Amino acid sequence: MSDISALSTQYDQLVETSEKINNSVIVFKKQNLLQDAASKQRYPNLKVTPEEIMEANTILSLFLVSVFDFADNQQTVAKEFMPEAVKDDYKIKLRRNTAYLDEDLKKLQKNLNDKRPVTDNDLQVMDILVTTLDTERNSLFRKLRTARG
């Protein structure tokens, strides 16, 4: 497989992952807003279904397990969210920006597994995940663009 083809495949996979994670984080932010009575009044048309929350929970949990190896012994991960080379770079960039990332990610994973509403700290961790994922996506796009000419 040529370099361009490999980069293109990696980029396509990262775009799909980025969109899924972004959409999941949006669902959790809506859920968090709807816990506040003032927000409910301010945004009367804002709704989130239990199905949306369940899907967002599943996607984000699988992402954390796949990328950060947070699997329980009995849990297997069939979904691959990003190629290994991209995953390693993503983890390096994340850890560069956050001192207690592993602890925060484990707390987030526990809240997701226990089906508890996400906390403000969880939302901050999700923002870091999304921001770094978008940075990785942009970096891969630049590599792809440069490889083409």
What is this structure's pTM?
0.84
Q: Which whole-number Å values give the CA distances from 36 to 32, 40, 41, 118, 135, in the listed order?
A: 8, 6, 9, 13, 32
The pLDDT value given to residue 108: 92
Query: Cβ atoms within 10 A of the Cβ of 23, count?
Result: 13
| CA atoms of 86 and 91, how far apart (whole Å) | 9
* Helix axes of 120-147 and 3-34: crossing angle, nearest 10 degrees: 160
Are 29 and 122 contacting, i.e. CB atoms less than 8 angstroms apart? no
Walking along the chain (149 residues) 10 residues at a time, the average pLDDT comes out as: 80 91 96 89 91 95 82 50 79 75 88 91 93 90 78
